Amino acid sequence: MGTDMAAAPYILPGELALQPEVIRRVLSDVDPLVPAIAEAIVQGGIRDIVMTGCGDSLFSAMAASFAFLRFSRSLTIPAHALEYSRAMYRSSGPETLVCALSYSGETRRTVEATIAAKSVGAKVLGISRDGSGTIAQLADHFLPNASLEERSNCRTGSFQAAYLALVLLGAHTAHRSGALDDHGLESV
């Protein structure tokens, strides 16, 4: 029982080379959607941000939470979807935005976290490649994960796309609330 791993194609370098295209897609396809969501965050009195997911989606949330906190000055906590859906959701409410990240839009634990957030009145932003999936359907707001189709399990493109979408959301939210001026927003 063996697989000759040396004979398997190594596809990661090709996917890494697609990173500039992922960034272009986020800036052209996702960034125009962000200001309306940022406005809803500010007008909705959102104070706390929870970014949740599993695997690479969680890592993207963890990386983006620092930028979101820096720009928006809102309490921003990354949490594994299992941890959020079983316990942390109890501290959420109408002043909480839960950013639910899932490449497929169907990750079971992230769906559970989305349901838990909705059960306590929190607002949900879904980020996934599937605009008609469960998370997108449950979410109050949705941003597409603008990554290209990926063949490796490294999810470099989807990580980058979700990360950049959240950084842009943090910057636009800060701009809408007055914490970031026009020059600061443009520099992001």
Domain boundaries, given as residue ranges, for the chain: 20-187
What span, in angstroms and rounded, lies between the C-alpha atoms of 81 and 99? 10
The per-residue pLDDT for 13 is 73
What CATH number was assigned to the domain covering residues 20-187?
A: 3.40.50.10490
Helix (H) or strand (E) holding 91: none
Edge-to-edge, what's the strand order for the sheet holding 75-80?
75-80, 48-53, 96-101, 123-128, 141-144
The per-residue pLDDT for 2 is 53
Predicted confidence pLDDT, tens digits, the chain (188 residues) = 455 555 556 666 776 777 888 889 999 999 999 999 999 999 999 999 999 999 999 999 999 999 888 888 888 999 999 999 999 999 999 999 999 999 999 999 999 999 999 999 999 999 999 999 999 999 999 999 998 776 666 667 888 999 999 999 999 999 999 998 998 888 88
Closest CA to 118 of 50, 72, 165: 50
Beta bridge partners of 141: 125
What span, in angstroms and rounded, lies between the C-alpha atoms of 95 and 168? 20
> For the purposes of burial, counting CB atoms within 10 Å of the CB of 71, is it exposed (0-12), middle (13-18) or buried (19 or more)?
buried
Q: pTM to 2 decimals?
A: 0.90
- CB count in 10 Å sphere of residue 45: 8
- Read off the DSSP letter of residue 145: -
